Chain A
Amino acid sequence: MAAYIIWILCLPALLSAGLMVWLSRRSARPDNRHYSLLNIIQAAVYTGLGLWLANLEKPLVLSGNGYFYADTLAVYEILITSGVFLLSAIYARGYVASLINQEEIDASLLPVFYGSLCLLELVLILGFLSNNLALLWIFIELSTLLSAVLIVTLKARENITAALKYVFVASTAMLFSFMGIIILFGLSQDTITGGSLNWTGLMAAAAGFNQRAFNIAFILMLIGFGAKSGMAPFHTWLPQAYTRAPSVVSVAYGAVLNLGLYAVLRLLALSQQTADTSLANTSLMATGMLTLGIAAFSLLARTNTKKVIAFSAVEQTGLALAGMSLASPLALFWVVFNQLAQPFTKALLFFSAGIWHRQYLSNKFTAVFKPLILQPLASTGLIIGVAAATGVPLLPVFLVKFNILASLAQQPLLLVLALFFFMVAAGGMGYYLLRAFSQAENPPTPAFKTPLSMKVPVMICLVLLAILGIYLPPWLSEVIRTITIELGMAA
């Protein structure tokens, strides 16, 4: 059975992409409803498959050569990804229809748009199931390819520039990872007959690695995987890509960032098996703090709603890296929890920002007026989303920030620095909202009639964040504890 799981997982995306190609050949004028329905069905099937995987006994070796492997972390990430994609698929139904009405996207590009979205979900899922680091690298590269295609489907020249920047920054950094992978393979030949790039094999053999050579491999791989997760100074692609992409794609990028952080998590686990972990931990802390600092100060002078959310995503990466650097079971527990909390926080923000954009036809705060009257749900979503992203109590990111700061208590200087960056970031985001909600009244404009399909994902995100902020279900806590054990970090 396990040998067929990969094929079963490939089927929905390939089938829906194939059907989309068929539909595009049948009709000269593609109908958004057909494509979006296919997209929703596919995302729902993946959510179902994710739940099915969660109920199977783990870990599962999914291929004879051990290239694919499902442990609790992989399935946890797949469930988050499929959840995010399901919400964005529902949202896309109304959102893309509105983009077509405003002539911001050409209807003839719908097959490319939805097809890429379907394949992106598949690539991310296969990435999470990759036990082989070279295979993981391949899926991360493919995710860049599909993400860039999704950016250029919108009618704006700036989108091409944003996509180019994304490809060149992410792929250049990924070539460093490629070098790191080659060194790691060379190292593995000393301890594993014939060498291996399978994470499970490397975990067992890591204690015998030469430390200096491993450190170089670690740094090189961190550059590539970190760049993909928005780590400074390789984060420069992220704000532009997030801002230029349609909101529904920006939401999906939350899962793409998770794949980058997932790779760093695997790398961290590997480094903890070696004799000396100091360089790995220090480099994670340094990049984490740098990322937090850059994100915090970049948030101060923003005028574009989606750019605020993008820098908040960079801040999230900084937080995750700083948490990982502590390499303690407690910090890791909250880093893994953050992998769940952040994509849904960002989803809420991007869904709401998307509705604002439909209302004001601009992402600039200067265009916003009477937001609570014209778009009450989206405005509430943005307020709650910003509160969640900054770490306001009773919302899930608060738990992450509080516990990571508590773990930093033994290093007072870093604690103060992190606290300062969090406060600057919160100030920047708060100030942005304040300006957006206090604009002088513009000439009366009719309210954009938000379709139900765009409202439902916002409501679901609001409910989910409200629950996660005050109640951590015992089963979820158990799942995350199992993940920390699988990563070799449990006390």
Chain B
Amino acid sequence: MNEVVLITEIIRILLVLILGTAVLVITQRSLNSLFSIYSIQSLLLAVLALVLFWQEGITSLLLISIITLVSKVIIIPAFLRSVLRRISIKRDLEFHFLTPISSIIISVLLLFGVYRVFFELRNELHFGPLFLLGAVIGVSLALMGMMVIFSRRKVITKTVGYLTMENGVLLFGLFVADLPFIIEVLVLVDLLMILVLASLLAFGIDSSIEAFHERLRNFGLDVEE
């Protein structure tokens, strides 16, 4: 009994912390800090999947935890930092359509909106109170990531927005269904895609067209001349 209560409390704390990282992603201007926040957010997600595995014993949750840890906590942030070293930008100061404050206000409204919709659907999707909270925070995180995509100008910040959105979708998936293996493949393809392409294009947008083609020819794997 005590163990169940403990797990539930840990999950709640993790969910709130994940939401906190989303707010930081919206407001952060320093790119290095942005990558660190994304890394922490992914770590929290990996721990959450591990806790859920501990509670439910479903192997796919363990796999998701490992994949998240390796790809999103280690590889992707390292890759993004290597992109940052090659380009001259260190901070993304420009916001369009939405300022950080208005983004946070809209996020709160979105959170309530999403909660309202899922509260209505809780019986159809067999949600308990904890799973309802997880699904709501997952979808809200995805929508907050989308706001980052639309409100930031730099490609590299947009990429972090997309990755946050993708974390939100995964979080939602963890709480809605026992994900089949194919969904994990789907997550991997998604990561591969955004990793290869956004980095490739980030090189391009911030360098001369000739240098970009040189990198494209080498599939973006060469080092800066």
Contacts and interface: CB of A to CB of B under 8 A. Distances in A.
Nearest to A138: B189
B179 A160 contact: no
Contacts of A112: 216-217, 219
A458 interface: no
A243 to B, nearest CB: 18
A179 B139 contact: yes
For chain B, give the interface size range. Answer: 35 or more
Given A134-B182, A172-B146, A185-B180, A179 B169 contact: yes
A361 interface: no
Interface in A137-161: 137-138, 141-142, 144-145, 148-149, 152-153, 155-157, 160-161
Interface in B127-185: 139, 142, 146, 149, 155, 158, 162, 165-166, 169, 172-173, 176-180, 182-183, 185
Contacts of B29: none
Interface in A477-491: none
B213 A168 contact: no
Given A155-B209, A179-B172, A134 B121 contact: no
B101 interface: no
Contacts of B155: 164
B201 A152 contact: yes
A182 B177 contact: yes
Interface stretch (A92-100, A208-216, A319-327, A345-353): A208-216
Given A109-B213, A179-B142, A167 B186 contact: no
A171 B194 contact: yes
Interface string A307-341: 00000000000000000000000000000000000
A132 interface: yes
Contacts of B166: 175
A185 to B, nearest CB: 5
B216 A172 contact: no
Interface in B206-225: 209, 212-213, 216-217, 219
Contacts of A163: 201
A183 B176 contact: yes
B165 A108 contact: no
Contact of B201 (A160, A175, A183, A189): A160
A430 interface: no
B196 interface: yes
A168 B158 contact: yes
A356 interface: no
B198 interface: yes
B74 interface: no
Contacts of B189: 138, 141-142
Q: Is the interface of A mostly helix, strand, loop or mixed?
A: helix
B121 A212 contact: yes
Interface size grouping (class) on chain A: 35 or more
B9 interface: no
B77 interface: no
A160 B199 CA distance: 12
- Of A142, A175, A195, A213, the most chain B CB neighbours within 10 A belong to A175
B165 A160 contact: no
A344 interface: no
A106 interface: yes
A171 B162 contact: yes
A164 B205 contact: yes
Interface string A163-181: 1100110011001001101
Nearest to A213: B124
Given A160-B205, A185-B179, A216-B121, A109 B216 contact: yes
A186 interface: yes
B162 A172 contact: yes
> For A109, A155, A182, A183, which residue has the most chain B Cβ atoms within 10 angstroms?
A182
Contacts of A138: 185-186, 189
Contacts of B179: 182, 185
Given A142-B193, A167-B197, A134 B183 contact: yes
Nearest to A151: B201
Given A134-B183, A141-B193, A172-B149, A167 B213 contact: no
A135 interface: yes
Given A145-B196, A152-B204, A179-B139, A157 B217 contact: no
A217 B70 CA distance: 30
B125 interface: yes
A108 B217 contact: yes
Interface in A195-222: 195, 197, 210, 212-213, 216
A195 B177 contact: yes
Interface string A382-424: 0000000000000000000000000000000000000000000
A175 B186 CA distance: 11
A157 B213 CA distance: 11
Contacts of B125: 183, 186-187, 213
Contacts of A161: 205
Contacts of A85: none
A174 B143 CA distance: 13
A211 B205 CA distance: 45
Contacts of A67: 182
A157 B209 contact: yes
Nearest to A169: B149
Interface string A40-73: 0000000000000000000000000001000000
Contacts of B193: 141-142, 144-145, 171
B78 to A, nearest CB: 21
A213 B182 contact: no
Contacts of A141: 189-190, 193
A134 B204 contact: no
Contacts of A210: 124
Contact of A145 (B120, B197, B219): B197
Name the 10 nearest CB pairs between A and B, nearest first. Answer: A186-B177, A210-B124, A213-B124, A160-B204, A134-B182, A182-B173, A186-B176, A185-B177, A138-B189, A145-B193
15 contacts: A106-B217, A109-B217, A134-B180, A145-B196, A149-B216, A152-B201, A153-B216, A160-B212, A164-B205, A172-B146, A172-B165, A182-B179, A189-B178, A195-B178, A210-B124
Given A155-B213, A179-B169, A183-B177, 4 more contacts: A134-B185, A167-B194, A172-B162, A179-B139
